[in-house]
């Protein structure tokens, strides 16, 4: 077992300390919040000790109540806020509070004050928005943690002590050990959250595919944006795919998931000045409309309800199409929003239900406009069914570009390439490689990919259903009736001979043969 796997197991075991007390999505918020607090604390110590190098004292040796130490603490806080976006005093460190709990002290009040102090330390600074109400889901007075204050304190102390014994190895700049572990935990929580999982997590293989699609041929991006960013995992996957992403933007409607996304960014060492995550309904209250992005990725909620207010036809994102997406199916509205936010040579990749490819009415009108007027749809990829937590339906990936030179669309049917793992179908690296090779070559591949001219799509009334263009039919082997008849005749003769032999045995035994008279 690797060190990384050991860390995963340790953290999951600690998470299970809370499992019996509450639902998966609830204990997720507590354990991830505590891990995040420990990360901030370890980072504060590391940063402070670098400043104190040569002073003959470490940050944990400083005493808040010692006037001689206050000069160090004040200066460290000022530098910390400017560089890492927050500050902690020695008395507020994770290890300090955990130790007090281990010695039998009641720590919930101090812990609550410390979490609020982290948020307050950013007031009036550039990082204020990134830390505002970040710990609001950690209700330490919740009866879910225990019926009495002492019960709650006992449980929290136990969890903090377990976490305190784990080295997050923040000095390892080669590997993002803690970031990987955090992603692992989010995935584990998603697997137990059913339909709710879709609100905050995109399975890693799908995230990898989208990231590779929008970064093909690039080693850096000026910007990436996810209008339904959930926990931010998809944005982080894009960041990992290239050497550098200058700016990361996202928007998330759910408040708890929005907090998780900000934590995820900070914990993956994304500097507060380089990400901008907002909380609002993207379709009705977009927060980054003035920006254009080099890459846009999303796994929006499938066929969600939205306002479809006719006034939105005057919105620059939707004007020109002549129609809005149906009120009960916002899929195409997300496509229109994402395409509007692309810069002039940008690329977007979005996961959607198959219905967007063939449903009629307003969605057909939008498809036609995207193809005829905007020449936007570049590639359509059919994925296997049952790949998303709580959603067994087959899905597809739409790749759209601005200023395309092609006058065709590449269709890829990757629906049969997957590995069954427990209750989910999973894309393996070789399946993703196969898709990317087809995208890169952009040529027809028998029973897998087809480059289809606009004229053929127009003949099909702008129906983009993949089986119309990629023929995966496997003809059954022809049956030779003459040979089959000969085999049946031979079997019949063989049966007659067998009956005669069995009838002879019956005579020898002195019993009536059941085969007499059978023809």
Q: What is the CATH number of the domain that holds 141?
A: 1.20.1260.30
Write down the mean pLDDT value for the chain.
Answer: 89
Phi, psi (rounded to 5 degrees) for 103: -80, 0
**14-18, 351-355, 481-485: lowest mean pLDDT where?**
14-18
Q: What is the CATH number of the domain that holds 283?
A: 3.40.50.150
323, 353: one domain: yes
- Of 468, 488, 507, which closes a domain? 468
| Assigned domain for 350 exists | yes
37, 106: one domain: yes
265, 238: one domain: yes
Q: Read out DSSP for 100-158?
A: HHHTT---HHHHHHHHHHHHHTTTTSTTHHHHTTTTTT--TT-GGG-SSHHHHHHHHHH
180, 204: one domain: no
C-alpha 236/C-alpha 222 separation (Å) is 14
In a 3-state reduction of DSSP, which class is residue 240?
Answer: helix
432, 500: one domain: no
Most confident among 52-66, 414-428, 461-475 (mean pLDDT): 52-66
268, 293: one domain: yes
pLDDT tens digits, 293-343:
999 999 999 999 999 999 999 999 999 999 999 999 999 999 999 999 999
In a 3-state reduction of DSSP, which class is residue 54?
Answer: coil
Q: Which domain holds residue 381?
A: 199-468
278, 172: one domain: no
C-alpha 309/C-alpha 293 separation (Å) is 26
Res 511: pLDDT? 81
Q: What is the 8-class DSSP label of residue 287?
A: S
In a 3-state reduction of DSSP, which class is residue 425?
Answer: strand
Q: What is the 8-class DSSP label of residue 222?
A: E
For residue 197, name the pLDDT band (cuts at 50, 70, 90): very low
C-alpha 294/C-alpha 345 separation (Å) is 7
Whether 147 shows a pLDDT value over 80: the answer reads yes
| Assigned domain for 191 exists | no
Nearest CA-CA partner of 371 in 324, 341, 408, 330: 408
- Mean pLDDT within 46-68: 92
Res 192: pLDDT? 58
- What is the distance, to the nearest Å, from the Cα of residue 384 to the centroid of all Cα atoms in its chain? 17
The DSSP bridge pattern shows strands 293-298 and 342-353 to be parallel
181, 209: one domain: no
| Assigned domain for 473 exists | no
C-alpha 99/C-alpha 121 separation (Å) is 23
| Assigned domain for 475 exists | no
- Of 123, 154, 186, which closes a domain? 186
Whether 267 shows a pLDDT value over 50: the answer reads yes
Res 391: pLDDT? 67
- Mean pLDDT within 343-352: 96
403, 517: one domain: no
CA torsion sign, 288 to 289 to 291 to 293? positive
Nearest CA-CA partner of 198 in 424, 18, 371, 406: 424
Is residue 95 within 8 A of residue 166, CB to CB? The reply is: no
Note the pTM of the prediction, 2 decimals: 0.86
Contact residues for 305 (Cβ-Cβ < 8 A; gap 6+): 327, 328, 330
| Assigned domain for 193 exists | no
120, 238: one domain: no
- Of 162, 186, 210, which closes a domain? 186
CA contacts within 13 A on the Cβ side of 420: 3
- Count of domains forming the chain: 3
| Assigned domain for 378 exists | yes
Q: What percent of the chain has pLDDT over 90?
A: 67
pLDDT tens digits, 90-126:
999 999 999 999 999 999 999 999 999 999 999 999 9
Res 519: pLDDT? 47
C-alpha 500/C-alpha 488 separation (Å) is 19
| Assigned domain for 434 exists | yes
160, 137: one domain: yes
| Assigned domain for 463 exists | yes
497, 452: one domain: no
C-alpha 448/C-alpha 458 separation (Å) is 22
Q: What percent of the chain has pLDDT over 70?
A: 92
């Amino acid at each position: 077992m690797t060190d990384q796997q050991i860390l995963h197991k340790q953290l999951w075991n600690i998470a299970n300390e809370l499992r019996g007390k509450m639902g998966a999505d609830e204990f997720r918020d507590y354990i991830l919040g505590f891990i995040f607090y420990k990360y901030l604390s370890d980072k504060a110590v590391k940063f402070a000790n670098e400043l104190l190098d040569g002073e003959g004292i470490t940050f944990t040796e400083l005493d808040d109540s010692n006037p001689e130490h206050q000069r160090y603490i004040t200066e460290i806080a000022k530098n910390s806020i400017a560089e890492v976006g927050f500050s902690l005093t020695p008395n507020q460190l994770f290890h300090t509070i955990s130790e007090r709990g281990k010695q039998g002290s009641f720590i919930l009040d101090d812990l609550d004050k410390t979490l609020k102090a982290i948020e307050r330390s950013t007031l009036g600074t550039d990082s204020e928005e990134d830390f505002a109400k970040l710990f609001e889901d950690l209700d330490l007075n919740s009866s879910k943690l225990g019926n009495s204050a002492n019960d709650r304190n006992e449980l929290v102390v136990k969890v903090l002590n377990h976490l305190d014994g784990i080295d997050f190895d923040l000095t390892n700049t080669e590997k993002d050990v803690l970031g990987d572990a955090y992603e692992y935990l989010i995935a584990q929580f998603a697997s137990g959250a059913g339909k709710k999982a879709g609100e905050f997590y995109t399975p890693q293989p799908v995230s990898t595919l989208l990231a590779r699609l929008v970064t093909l041929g690039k080693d850096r991006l000026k910007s990436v944006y996810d209008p339904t960013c959930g926990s931010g995992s998809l944005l982080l996957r894009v960041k990992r795919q290239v050497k550098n992403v200058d700016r990361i933007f996202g928007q998330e409607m759910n408040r708890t998931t929005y907090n998780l996304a900000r934590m995820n960014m900070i914990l993956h060492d994304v500097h507060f000045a380089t990400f901008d995550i907002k909380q609002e309904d993207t379709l009705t209250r977009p927060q980054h409309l003035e920006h254009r992005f080099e890459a846009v990725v999303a796994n929006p909620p499938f066929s969600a309800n939205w306002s479809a207010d006719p006034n939105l036809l005057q919105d620059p994102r939707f004007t020109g199409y002549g129609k809005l997406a149906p009120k009960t199916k916002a899929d195409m509205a997300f496509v229109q929003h994402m395409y509007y936010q692309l810069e002039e040579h940008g690329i977007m990749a979005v996961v959607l239900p198959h219905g967007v490819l063939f449903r009629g009415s307003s969605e057909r009108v939008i498809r036609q406009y995207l193809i005829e007027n905007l020449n936007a749809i570049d590639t359509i990829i059919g994925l296997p069914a049952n790949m998303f937590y709580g959603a067994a339906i087959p899905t597809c990936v739409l790749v759209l570009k601005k200023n395309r030179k092609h006058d065709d669309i590449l269709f890829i049917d990757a629906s049969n390439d997957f590995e069954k793992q427990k209750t989910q179908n999973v894309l393996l690296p070789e399946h993703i490689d196969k898709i990317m090779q087809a995208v890169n070559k952009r040529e027809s591949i028998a029973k897998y990919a087809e480059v289809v001219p606009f004229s053929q799509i127009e003949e099909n009334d702008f129906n983009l259903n993949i089986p119309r263009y990629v023929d995966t039919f496997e003809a059954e082997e022809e049956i030779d009736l003459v040979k089959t008849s000969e085999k049946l005749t031979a079997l019949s003769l063989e049966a007659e001979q067998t009956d005669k032999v069995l009838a002879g045995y019956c005579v020898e035994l002195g019993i009536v043969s059941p085969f007499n008279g059978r023809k």
